[in-house]
Amino acid sequence: MTENYTLPQLMVAAAAREIADHEVVFVGMRLPLLGFLLAGSTHAPHAVGVYELGVVRDTLSPEPIMTMGDLPNLTGACWLADTIDIMSLLQKGLVDISFIGGAQVDRFGNLNTSYIGGFQSPATRLPGSGGACDLACLAKRHIIVMTHEKRRFKEKVDYITSPGYGDGAGWRERVGLPRGGPRAVITTLGVLRFDPMTCEMVLVSVRPGVSVETVSFHTGWPLKIAPDLSQTPAPTQAELAMIRRFDPEGYWTGSDKNL
Amino acid sequence: MTENYTLPQLMVAAAAREIADHEVVFVGMRLPLLGFLLAGSTHAPHAVGVYELGVVRDTLSPEPIMTMGDLPNLTGACWLADTIDIMSLLQKGLVDISFIGGAQVDRFGNLNTSYIGGFQSPATRLPGSGGACDLACLAKRHIIVMTHEKRRFKEKVDYITSPGYGDGAGWRERVGLPRGGPRAVITTLGVLRFDPMTCEMVLVSVRPGVSVETVSFHTGWPLKIAPDLSQTPAPTQAELAMIRRFDPEGYWTGSDKNL
Amino acid sequence: MKSSKLVSLSEAVSRLVPDGASVVMGCALEALIPFAAGHEMIRQKKKSLTLIGPISDILFDQLVGAGCVEKIRAAWVGNVITGSAYNFRRAVEGGNLKMEDHSNLTLAMALTAGAMGVPFMPARTALGSDLFRTNSGLKTITCPFTGNILTAIAALLPDVAVVHVQRADVFGNGHIWGNLGVTKEACLASRHVILTAEEIVDSQVITGDPNRVIVPGFRVSAVVHAPWGAHPSPVPGHYNRDHQAFIDYRNRSRTVDGFEEWKKMWVDPLRDSRTYPELLGKERVKALALKHHLPSVPVDYGY
Amino acid sequence: MKSSKLVSLSEAVSRLVPDGASVVMGCALEALIPFAAGHEMIRQKKKSLTLIGPISDILFDQLVGAGCVEKIRAAWVGNVITGSAYNFRRAVEGGNLKMEDHSNLTLAMALTAGAMGVPFMPARTALGSDLFRTNSGLKTITCPFTGNILTAIAALLPDVAVVHVQRADVFGNGHIWGNLGVTKEACLASRHVILTAEEIVDSQVITGDPNRVIVPGFRVSAVVHAPWGAHPSPVPGHYNRDHQAFIDYRNRSRTVDGFEEWKKMWVDPLRDSRTYPELLGKERVKALALKHHLPSVPVDYGY
């Protein structure tokens, strides 16, 4: 088959579908930012976006933005405030959904964006948590968005920047987390969700043209497959048009380079 | 002798003298507010006033004010902010001096502005702490301003709203207070300070025309007298003129009713 | 499109302030006290309210006098320029009112804890005071880093914050300026927020200056148009403090009968906040209006 | 009369940022990053600095590349639109930089604790994460009221906060608008504050709108006139984000030599903060300037 969309476009569309109307969305950078904009301009017009910089807005910015700090994202906002105000909404449990990227993830959705190879003498130092740890701890649910590769989907992550379900069911309660946990993982190969009993990741849909074997091959543990496995819906023409409006230069979604 | 000033005017002038130039002053209501304005317009032009409402200003208001919440007190302020911002300056130890009134005080400067007669079944319920407890705990020093009567100067106060030196030397450190303590008590009869060793109140000056015996008679414990007892300086004509400018109707200083 | 949250004062209070509710008011301390909303609670004969606020400056006294209040959690309850609050005194001295004693800082931090979504805040104030004996939300703890003795202040989580603002849009975005007190913390700590506003304005006026918004509209449950709704307290940009009203109230409220007379004059006649300026009278409105206008220099939110 | 605090950038940095100082910068996250002040620290060859800030967006990377930094206490160090910060990576991977890992919330609360004058703040974040292994300022505690397990976050008390503002008076009162990040907390937590300002204005412009003041002048040690002093980060009311500069920096800084070239071009030539627009060039200045102006509606601070 010939695809008329890029992988980032597919992921943005999948991310957007996770947002319900009227929800409060903690908007991150890159693809999740586009996913929020797409949702807000399609099925979730009443979604409210909160940004860790200190921004709350419930309308589209008057011009496309490259990052949440661009000035058009401040124009017409309904609140410009302190980071602590925004993070407090999160800590109080008023944020319905958020999105996080990662360099490594394990079967329980624990994410590493800090150190590859152990923090004492790391092979690679990554940028770190930013707000990701807070989103993973405090949003009602969060969605992980990342490239599906064996070196990233690991039996055990080198460092837990953003907690998922720890070592399985009951772990979040035990360590004191008040709520939440990852709800889905949107990857370049498909979509995974978490078994409500075991908290383990389960493949629920694959991208058009990708086999279950391919996904398993790129996963660092014996991957569970949902009995009702489906195909990840391709973005519609309307969705693609909207994504191009928000990313007119294709910086984020024009190719696969910025995943 | 004939006095050409009221008792409140005397107390305002005495309060003003406690403020040094360049100090950060936590300004309260009533006489202390006038004391701050007097100091700022005489010997302490660089004093900065912080008000628990969320106001910082280093200039006089463009019109006389009756209370710190009057609009002229906001005009030309250098910061309008949250109460927590102002109280945080205090908690961090950035406030040099503050003033507190009280209904009852004991020899160690513990103040009661809450309950007369025990809190379980009080004979009189007073308004409470407001910011007074915080000022007594956290300012580098504070000044007590009150009417000198035996029922107010008590062997033991019924309730400690605003801690002084507790039961004496070392008490503030023991209970965890980070600094501070009362520096002086300005009363209708004179001025008292605290012995640096014992933390007990000592009479250091008496109002013109008042005897030491009178002060002792109106004090509910055997009052210590300073060896170098002096006379409380009467307000100067210039000070009186300035006080009348700030309290043109004499609401606070025209008679003794509002002490 | 977004839906309007603009309702009458009567509807806002009847829907969002049930008997037994905990209500935080008077958050800007001496300014912007929501007297109109408080008086509507009196007219609706609310019962068993818990009132929360730093100083209240006679509003709490009025609700106590009208029999609406079971408990007060506050730092100070009185009349700023005259002293005692007489209904409050009578109620506490008669054993008819529960009191939780705060200082301004412990109250501000309790609301901050509520706003931040944490169960307590550590502080260095109140140590050695008797506030610990009349406030079960204060305990001493030891700092895990420094070993200091600290006061732990339990979070306050009011059912509803009632906040008077200068201008708001119908979606619940409101502008406030002047000294802010604990307004932001109170709004964020509370489950519901009622804004009473001097003016209802076009949404672009509000979103055209989002730094002045006190709390985002999605956290606000109702917006009410209430001109002069904070009288006799001052409202920056609108009117000065009515000192005489505070003195008159002191004189009336010295006795129970006097308070009833005051209530008959100032609370009972009103059925709709819009008529309050009429009750106040043209002369008083004119006397309290701003004489000197000092507009701020605009800032640019362009791109 | 009050005395002016207006000094040159060179004087402010040389007087208030000694070797070994801890400096909080980039407090508004992606906006208002004080690049001019950071570059002056590079020119003055500062050593052993501790840098504190939420995300920094390449400023910290530049100071690390120039050898000024011993330790970073931050939530994220990178290039917002391109990802990795290469000097930072090289330094950590080579064992030449100490790192204290925060999240945005733990950092904001650590500065809040510092601002409030308490030794720690309790939070519900980071529990179960490995931040506890690479940040000694995090411990678990039990809430004395609810029994919840909480994260205790130790206060941060920087020696100096460097904050870029849109306009300031010579006394240190500065206006800021847009998203504020952790700016207020950082200013109040720090011993000294340096303001770099796009414009130095008459004091009445600032005190004519005191709600926009970020920190009162008496807490500010120095004010510097630094037009375009936050470029390439955006400054609301003044200029847009220069995305290309962030991409160019990524490309240059991939190698040590490339970073040195970048530094020769953008840091070394400047002697006076006021001449930066010349270095930037008229075309770029024009391209980044605001195209759409949206002034706020004034409010009245009269009486």
Question: Are A216 and A108 contained in the same domain?
Answer: yes
B136's tokens = 């007594």
Question: Are A176 and A252 contained in the same domain?
Answer: no
C-alpha–C-alpha distance, residues B81 and B55, integer Å: 6
Residue with tokens 């959904």: A97
D177's tokens = 């608008």
Interchain contact, D143 vs C122, CB within 8 Å: no
**Known active-site residue B52:** yes
Cα angle D163, D167, D173 (rounded to 5 degrees) comes to 70
Q: What would the mean pLDDT of C211-238 be, rounded to a whole number? A: 97
Q: With beta carbons under 8 A apart, name residues in chain A contacting C210.
A: 74, 76-80
Residue with tokens 């849909």: A205
Residue with tokens 């009103």: C270
C-alpha–C-alpha distance, residues C174 and C199, integer Å: 10
For residue B2, is pLDDT > 70? Answer: no
SS3 content of chain A, % helix, strand, coil (to 5): 25, 25, 55
For residue A259, is pLDDT > 60? Answer: no
Question: Are A54 and A113 contained in the same domain?
Answer: no
**DSSP 3-state assignment of D87?**
helix
The string of pLDDT tens digits covering residues A162-213 is 999 999 999 999 999 999 999 999 999 999 999 999 999 999 999 999 999 9
Q: Which of D109, D207, D221, D299 to mutate to test the interface with B (most CBs of B within 10 A)?
A: D207
The string of pLDDT tens digits covering residues C106-139 is 999 999 999 999 999 999 999 999 999 999 999 9
| Chain B and chain A touch, per 3+ beta carbon pairs within 8 A | no
A206's tokens = 């694959």
Cα angle B89, B93, B94 (rounded to 5 degrees) comes to 55
Question: Are B21 and B87 contained in the same domain?
Answer: yes
At residue B12, what is the residue type? V
Mean pLDDT of chain C: 97
Q: What is the band of C275 on the pLDDT scale with cuts at 50, 70, 90?
A: confident
CA distances from C271 to C8, C10, C11, C160 (A): 10, 8, 11, 22
Interchain contact, B92 vs D171, CB within 8 Å: no
* Cβ pair D26, D56 in contact under 8 A: yes
How far apart are the CA of A37 and the nearest CA of chain C, in angstroms?
16
C297 CB within 8 Å of a chain D CB: yes
Residue in B52, B63, B200, B239 annotated catalytic: B52
Which chains are within 8 Å of A by 3+ CB pairs? C, D
For residue B80, is pLDDT > 60? Answer: yes
Q: Looking at the 3D structure of chain B, how many domains does it have?
A: 2
Q: In what order do the strands lie in the sheet with C138-142?
A: C120-123, C149-154, C138-142
C-alpha–C-alpha distance, residues B55 and B32, integer Å: 16
Mean pLDDT of chain B: 95
User: Bridge partners of A98?
Assistant: A26, A142
Which residues in chain D are classed under CATH 3.40.1080.10?
9-109+156-288
Q: Which of B30, B34, B50, B53 to mutate to test the interface with C (most CBs of C within 10 A)?
A: B53
Residue A217: which domain range?
Answer: 97-232
Cα atoms in the Cβ-side hemisphere of radius 13 Å centred on B24 = 20
For residue C272, is pLDDT > 80? Answer: no
Q: What is the band of B256 on the pLDDT scale with cuts at 50, 70, 90?
A: low
Task: Using a pLDDT cut of 70, give the percent of chain C over it.
Answer: 99
Q: What is the band of D274 on the pLDDT scale with cuts at 50, 70, 90?
A: confident
Q: With beta carbons under 8 A apart, name residues in chain D contacting A124.
A: 89, 93
CATH of residue B7's domain is 3.40.1080.10
Residue A104, H or E segment: strand A104-105
Q: What would the mean pLDDT of B101-119 be, rounded to a whole number? A: 96
Alpha helix locations (H) across D147-255?
Answer: 183-189, 203-207, 243-253
Nearest to D75 by CA among D90, D93, D53: D53
Nearest to A90 by CA among A133, A41, A44: A133
From D2, D118, D216, residue closest to B91, measured CB to CB = D118
Give one DSSP letter per residue of D32-72, joined into a string.
Answer: S--HHHHHHHHHTT--SEEEEES--TTHHHHHHHTT-EEEE
What burial class does residue D133 get, using C-beta atoms within 10 Å of its C-beta: 0-12 exposed, 13-18 middle, 19+ buried? middle
Q: Is the pTM of this model over 0.95?
A: yes
CA distances from D142 to A174, C125, D121, D130 (A): 13, 21, 12, 19
* Cβ pair B138, B176 in contact under 8 A: no
Residue A194, H or E segment: strand A190-194
* Cβ pair C137, C158 in contact under 8 A: no
Task: Using a pLDDT cut of 90, give the percent of chain D over it.
Answer: 96
Cβ contacts from C onto D, under 8 A: 150
C-alpha–C-alpha distance, residues B109 and B127, integer Å: 19
Question: Are B143 and B172 contained in the same domain?
Answer: yes
Question: Are B120 and B221 contained in the same domain?
Answer: yes
A125's tokens = 């130092």
* Beta strands D160-168; D174-175: pairing state: antiparallel
pLDDT of residue B139: 98
C-alpha–C-alpha distance, residues D24 and D108, integer Å: 12
B203's tokens = 């009479």
Task: Using a pLDDT cut of 70, give the percent of chain D over it.
Answer: 100
CA distances from A28 to A145, C210, D77, D126 (A): 11, 20, 16, 18
Q: What would the mean pLDDT of C69-81 be, rounded to a whole number? A: 97
The string of pLDDT tens digits covering residues B112-157 is 999 999 899 999 999 999 999 999 999 999 999 999 999 999 999 9
Give one DSSP letter per residue of C140-176, joined into a string.
Answer: EEE-TTT--EEEEEEPP--SEEEEEEEEE-TTS-EE-
The string of pLDDT tens digits covering residues D9-63 is 999 999 999 999 999 999 999 999 999 999 999 999 999 999 999 998 999 999 9
Cα atoms in the Cβ-side hemisphere of radius 13 Å centred on C83 = 14
Residue D123, H or E segment: strand D120-123
C-alpha–C-alpha distance, residues A81 and A51, integer Å: 10
A248's tokens = 């007119």
Q: What is the band of B257 on the pLDDT scale with cuts at 50, 70, 90?
A: low
pLDDT of residue A23: 97
C-alpha–C-alpha distance, residues D25 and D19, integer Å: 16
Rounded to the nearest angstrom, the gap between the alpha carbon of residue A222 and the centroid of all alpha carbons in its chain is 23
C-alpha–C-alpha distance, residues C135 and C155, integer Å: 12
* Cβ pair D56, D80 in contact under 8 A: no
D254's tokens = 């991939």
Cα atoms in the Cβ-side hemisphere of radius 13 Å centred on D105 = 32
Residue A76's closest chain C neighbor by CA? C207
Q: What would the mean pLDDT of C153-164 be, rounded to a whole number? A: 98
How far apart are the CA of D219 and the nearest CA of chain A, in angstroms?
19
Interchain contact, C130 vs B114, CB within 8 Å: yes
CA distances from A249 to A236, A244, A253, B208 (A): 20, 8, 9, 84
Length of chain B: 259
CATH 3.40.1080.10 fits C9-109+156-288, yes or no: yes
Q: What would the mean pLDDT of A116-137 be, rounded to a whole number? A: 96
Q: What is the band of A256 on the pLDDT scale with cuts at 50, 70, 90?
A: low
Mean pLDDT of chain D: 97
**Which residues have C-beta within 8 Å of that of residue D186, sequence separation ≥ 6?**
D24, D27, D52, D111, D115, D158, D161, D163
Question: Are A87 and A133 contained in the same domain?
Answer: no
Biggest distance spanned by C-alpha atoms of chain B: 49
* Cβ pair C149, C140 in contact under 8 A: yes
For residue A238, is pLDDT > 50? Answer: yes
pLDDT of residue B1: 40
Question: Are B166 and B190 contained in the same domain?
Answer: yes
Would you tell me the crossing angle of helices C256-266 and C86-93 to the nearest 10 degrees? 130
Sign of CA dihedral C38, C41, C43, C49: negative
Nearest to D138 by CA among A84, C143, C145, A87: C145
C-alpha–C-alpha distance, residues C60 and C63, integer Å: 5
**Which residues have C-beta within 8 Å of that of residue B177, sequence separation ≥ 6?**
B137, B138, B163, C124, C127, C128
Residue ranges of D 198-237 with Cβ closer than 8 A to chain B: 204, 206-208, 210-211, 213, 215-219
Rounded to the nearest angstrom, the gap between the alpha carbon of residue C243 and the centroid of all alpha carbons in its chain is 18
The string of pLDDT tens digits covering residues C177-203 is 999 999 999 999 999 999 999 999 999
What burial class does residue B197 get, using C-beta atoms within 10 Å of its C-beta: 0-12 exposed, 13-18 middle, 19+ buried? exposed
pLDDT of residue A258: 47
The string of pLDDT tens digits covering residues B194-243 is 999 999 999 999 999 999 999 999 999 999 999 999 999 999 999 999 99
